[in-house]
Structure 1
Amino acid sequence: MTQTSDNVTWLTQEAYDQLKAELEYLSGPARAEVVAKIDEARQEGDLKENAGYHAAREDQGKQELRVRQLTQLLQHAKVAETPPDDGVAEPGMVITIAFDSDPDDPTTFLMASREYASTKIDTYSPQSPLGSAVNGKKAGDSASYELPNGNQVSVKILDVKPYQG
């Protein structure tokens, strides 16, 4: 799980290892693959009208951006344990809430940074309106936040437990 405070990103050891492996792949084998694609496309001739060349260069740009993002994230990362099972909503916790407008349809999500958006559970950032509203609360507490249209939304926290991956 991650939480960001100032320039520090807190990661579990598993998350750190996963992001480091992605960085190593993008910096090594994936970089070599895209360079080979660019070289192949270059051999085809006129670069102005070479769609394969332009696509490979675009892929290279996206890949290099991700390499820079991961490098910066990992440079400022601190490895920490999963939060304790103390019932407090915080990054690294799975939170179940019910919207006051529809109390019979609970929603469960992981409070974590966007690096966890690919998990099998919905992920909300601690900086999101919902994440900010429930952060620090416990099961049984209520919270409210403002939508972009100015309306207030109220939720009741039903359950808070550590994310188990």
Structure 2
Amino acid sequence: MSKVSYYTAEGLKKLREELDQLESVERPRVTNDISEARDKGDLSENAEYHAAKEEQSLLEFKIAQLKNVVASARLIDESQLDTSKVLALSTVKIKNTANNMVVSYTLVANSEADFKSGKISVDSPIGKGLLGKKVGEIAEVNVPNGIMKFEILEITRS
């Protein structure tokens, strides 16, 4: 059974659009490539045919994975979320207790994570460490080079 992931309306829409693109545009294109390569003769020595078949295999795998993600996706009603503790879709201002550096992150589903725009996965080490914490608490996060401590300064909804 696949793991349930929580998405914003925008994030879920992007997933569905990507799935639709793969099924309605990419799949017919790859099928056409296979057909054209097959028409060129001997399949045992036809590199184009083998490349197209491999592309089809990878595409079908990606489609199956995306269907699984969409099937197990749950839409979050942001207006119903508790702002007293860190949850998925929380924007959290934290302070690294070692160097007093203050940063803000929004916790999102894996497929929506984008570190450059301040969106981290709830499944990342920092995301896992922050979940359930309240303002004023210290989150101890296991990272590859030890334990980092973050003080929760503020929790908001984006």
TM-score (norm 1): 0.75
Per-residue deviation at 1:16? Answer: 2.4
Instruction: Find the aligned partners of 2:50 and 2:113 in 1 and give their Cα distance.
Output: 29
Unaligned runs of 5+ in 1: 1-5
Per-residue deviation at 1:41? Answer: 3.2
Question: Which residue does 2:6 correspond to in 1?
Answer: 10
Q: Does 1:94 align with 2:59?
A: no
Question: Which residue does 1:3 correspond to in 2?
Answer: none
SS in 1 for 2:77: coil
Q: Residue deviations 1:20-60, cap 9 Å, x none?
A: 22212211121101112222333444555554444433332
Unaligned runs of 5+ in 2: none
Of the candidates 153, 156, 159, which is equivalent to residue 151 of structure 2? 156
SS in 2 for 1:89: coil
Alpha-carbon contact 1:42-1:53 (below 8 Å) kept: yes
Q: Residue deviations 1:92-136, cap 9 Å, x none?
A: 1222322222213x3332212211035862443323321121111
Between Structure 1 and Structure 2, the one with more helix by share is 2
Q: Does 1:112 align with 2:104?
A: no
Alpha-carbon contact 2:94-2:151 (below 8 Å) kept: yes
Percent identity between the two aligned chains: 29
TM-score (norm 2): 0.77
Instruction: Find the aligned partners of 1:52 and 1:158 in 2 and give their Cα distance.
Output: 57
Taking only aligned residues, the RMSD between alpha carbons, in angstroms, comes to: 2.8
Alpha-carbon contact 1:87-1:159 (below 8 Å) kept: no
